[in-house]
């Protein structure tokens, strides 16, 4: 069984979750704006950026960061 969270850990978890939700919302907003400006090629740009982000996260995980 896992240990219950302390109030400081709960605040830290909530802060991290809030940051992730804000990041996800901004990604969606930027994607929609790019789609409105550049059309379908914007989807390719978003997909390439997402692929790069995943590769960077995998490299950071492999490096132990």
Separation between Cα atoms, residue 49 and residue 36, nearest integer Å: 18
**Cα separations in angstroms, 1 against 4, 9, 12, 58:** 9, 17, 21, 29
Q: Is residue 2 part of a domain?
A: no
Check residue 58 and give its pLDDT.
Answer: 94
Domain count, the chain: 1
Mean pLDDT over residues 27-31, rounded?
Answer: 91
Q: What is the pLDDT of residue 2?
A: 74
33-53 per-position pLDDT tens digit: 999 999 999 999 989 999 999
Query: Is residue 1 in some structural domain?
Result: no
Rounded mean pLDDT, 23-28? 90
| Predicted local confidence at residue 4, as pLDDT | 81
**Structural domain that includes position 23:** 7-63
pTM recorded for the entire structure: 0.68
């Amino acid at each position: 069984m896992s240990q219950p969270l302390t109030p400081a850990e709960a605040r830290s978890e909530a802060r991290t979750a809030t940051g992730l939700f804000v990041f996800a919302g901004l990604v969606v907003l930027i994607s929609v704006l790019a789609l409105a400006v550049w059309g379908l090629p914007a989807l390719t740009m978003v997909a390439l950026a997402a692929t790069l982000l995943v590769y960077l996260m995998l490299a950071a995980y492999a490096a132990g960061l």
